[in-house]
Each structure stands twice: as C-alpha cells, then as structure tokens.
Structure 1
Amino acid sequence: MTDSLSVLLTNDDGIDAVGFRALYDALAEWADVTAVAPVDDQSAVGRQLSTDAAVREHELGYAIAGTPADCVVAGLEVLCPEVDAVVAGCNKGANLGAYVLGRSGTVSAAVESAFFGVPAIATSLYVPGGGDVPWQEQATESSDFRNATRATSYLLRHALDAGVFERTGYLNINAPLADAGDPPAPIEITRPSTLYDMTAEHDGNGRIILEDGIWERMRTGDIEDPEGTDRRAVVEGRVSVSPLTAPHTSEGHEALDGLAAAYPETV
C-alpha cells in the first residue's frame, strides 16, 4: 500500500467546484495533493489545448485560465513535475459510455497524463436528476460525493503497488450519488458501454436541436447495456471502474492491408 504519494488534482468543473473540494479533502488526508485546475467551468471541452494560459496561486495550489488538458501539461511540465499520479474530478455528472470519452474534459485530463506516462484516474458522479429538483441543483454537499471519493482514494492508494498501471493508461471511475445512511457502494470492473442515442432535429426556424437521449433512458431504467458495462453498473448502484488505454490501440486489419497493397494500381 502506497502512503506517500504526490498527486496532481485537476477537473473540468472549475477549481471551486464542490466535487473538486470533496476529492481534494479525501486525498489530502493521506497524500500530498497539489491542485492545478481551471479557473472556471470547462465541461465537455475534450482535449482542447491553449497556446498560453494565465496562472495564479490558489489556496489549494494553482488556478489556470485554460482547459483540463492545459492544467495537466502545465502541472507535469512546470508546476509540480515530480508527482506520482494525476487525478481528475470529481466531476458532477457521469462520464459513461465509449462515445463520451473523447468529449469529457475530466477524462481528457487523465488521457493527457497517460501520454506523459503518469498513472491517472478520472472520477465522476452520476446525478440522476428528474423529479422536482434539476440535476444541476443536486449534489451540493461534499458528503454527496462520498462513493466517488472513497473509491478513488482506495484505488489510488493501492493500484500503483498492485501493478494496475503496468497494463492500464488510466482508470475511468463513475460512482452513484450517495444518500444519507447508505453503505459504501461496491466496486465493479467494467468496460465502456457502446449504446449511443444522439439525435438531431431541425426546428424549422434556422436551428438544429441536438439531444443525448441516454440521460432520460438512465433515469427511467430503459437501458440495453449488458452486464459488465459501466452504465449498467452505475444505474444499479455500483461504482464503475473501467481500465482504459492511451494512446488508443490499433489492431491488424487484413481487408485494409489488401487495399493498401493494391494502391495505386487499381485506382
């Protein structure tokens, strides 16, 4: 068990987000944590990078006027280059499914770290929404994030010594919202769901309305995800942990090899 880790903590909700502080406090109980996080909300920016970004000191570390990927590059290159691991989160809102991985600023921070060869974890909280209170107005207390912070702290504390990152670039953790009095949600090792339900509609007035139907399907339980997938685990109350790789893997492809061999004679 590793007890003396140094950690770069970032996110995409902004350095003053409740979930960020909840995860900072949980990790700081046993690790040396330096915050290098965006000044403001940078949700869904993916791996967008800046050419320069203003930095200022913050009580938790550093606030960057840039993206989560900016924060990782700036942190690992300049601000805290000797850290043992990077953690991104805790994001308010789940990052589930293969189609989300490239969009999420939280996940993209972990991917950026993996390219540096530094072990990384992305952590997000599933907030169901629905009912009388919009999901944006839920999860306003640090205690609401305890399933996510507990699982992240546990895995970060043990995964390096266990050799997890010898085969894995980063872990994508998604946890269910914790209700008062609930026992800790169990962990399930998962794979990203391939279910996709994006739609677009022309409103007739010069605008295209795009909608991700997955969220409503999660709230109603209308999901087709098989056992072992990230979304199925979270909807059923478990903490999903997906071990993922970066850079993306490339597989042999006989049909494509044949096309390459025939080029350009058959054009």
Structure 2
Amino acid sequence: MTNKPFAGKVALVTGAASGIGRASALAFAQQGAKVVVADVNVSGGEETVRMIVDNGGEAIFVATDVSRAAEVEALVRQTIAQFGRLDVAHNNAAIEGALAPTAAYSEEDWDRTINVNLKGTWLCLKYEILHMLQQGGGAIVNTASVVGLVGTIGLPAYCAAKGGVVQLTKAAALEYAKAGIRINAVCPGATHTPMLNRLMVQPGAETGMLATIPLGRIGNPEEIAAAVVWLCSDAASYVTGHIMVVDGGMIAQ
C-alpha cells in the first residue's frame, strides 16, 4: 500500500519556475506524481525539476509560452510522449502586466496580459481536455485570483483576465463533467511570490495589504498548492466548477 495518492499519475504544471507553480509541482511530486514543469523561465523551471529529483521524484522541464498554441500543443504532446498519460493539470502561468489605470493602459500591455493570462489558460485547457477525452477523464485546476472576483486599482488587464479565467472554468466544467473531467479554479489572495514582490515596492505597501487580511498575514505558495492538489485528488471527486478562494479572509469582508 502507498500513502501517496498520486502514485502512478502524471501532473502538468505551468508557470512552475517559481511561486505557486513551483510549490504545486513540488506538492504533486511529494504525493507520488510524475511532474511536467512548464514555464518561459528556463533556469527557474530546471531548478524546480532539480528540487523534485533531489527529493526522489521524477520530473521533466518543457519551455513553454502558454500564449502560443503550437507551444502548448507541443507541451501536452511531449507530456504524453514522456510519461504516456496526463491525469491532472494546474494551469498557473500568468503575468501581472503593467501597473497603470485603465485609461492609461497601452494596447500592447493589454494584449500581452490577456494573451498570457486568459488565452494561455484557454489554450492549456483546450489541449489538456482533448487528451483527457481520449483517456477517459482527468482533473484540471486553473489559477484565477481574488481580483478576478473583486476589483483592484492599477491592474485592469490582470483583473479582466482573471475574471475571465473564473468564467472559463465554470463553462468548461459544465461542458466536460459527463466526460469525467473535473475543472476547478483557485483564487489566491496576497501570497509570497515574485509577482507580489514586484507589486509591493512602494513604502508601506505590505503594511497596507496586511490591514486588509483578517488572518493578519500574507499567504505562502504551499498553502495555495495544498488547495490545488486537493482539488485534483480523489478526495474532491464530487467537486467541479468550483472557484476556491484562498485569501486569509480578504474578500469575505
């Protein structure tokens, strides 16, 4: 008997070179999955693979820009070629985009942010689902955000994209439930990641953010990863189309 619920399963994680994606990849590996690490950041992605292998796990890195259909299709194809199957996926790759109000946002910044965060999530879903339909099922978790549910100042494209991920998750969950594919999303709140660090450069930014979080602290990537892994596990076998907020109580107010 094994106490590793993902033993014999294959997990694909995008945006896995750092932050929540890396924590998710490590968590799947710790629970027995073979992991495909995908990111545009080659050095970070390869480091995630090394961390998994050093802990006795099995993983490969595939450099992938999720905004490009051919690269996402190749990512799923390489996953199958290497490991023979795809059981679970965490579509996590995202960028924060430019920090500017709506009327000052450039078209280029808007398109780039939407292409990575929303189109990229859709492309990952598309090619993962196409394989899972042949395989007879699977589980997928998309990373949305609390700002996909409530607004924030200065990140209009990010908010729009993450709100789109929420609705895309629900639509896809309904479409493929009868095919045995469960599709859910996590909405992280403030979490210690490189992205948050880039957004919190102003003096007093962290103090101001902490004041909005009832639990009184910023979350860790491992706490988001735990939710992702649970949603992909058999323990969540009756959960699909769910948008799980993991934010220390921030948007309960």
Shorter chain as normaliser: what TM range? 0.3 to 0.5
Q: Choose between structure 1 and 2: higher helix proportion.
A: 2
Q: Choose between structure 1 and 2: higher strand proportion.
A: 1
TM-score scaled by structure 2? 0.44
TM-score scaled by structure 1? 0.42
Kindly name which structure, 1 or 2, has the bigger radius of gyration based on alpha carbons: 1
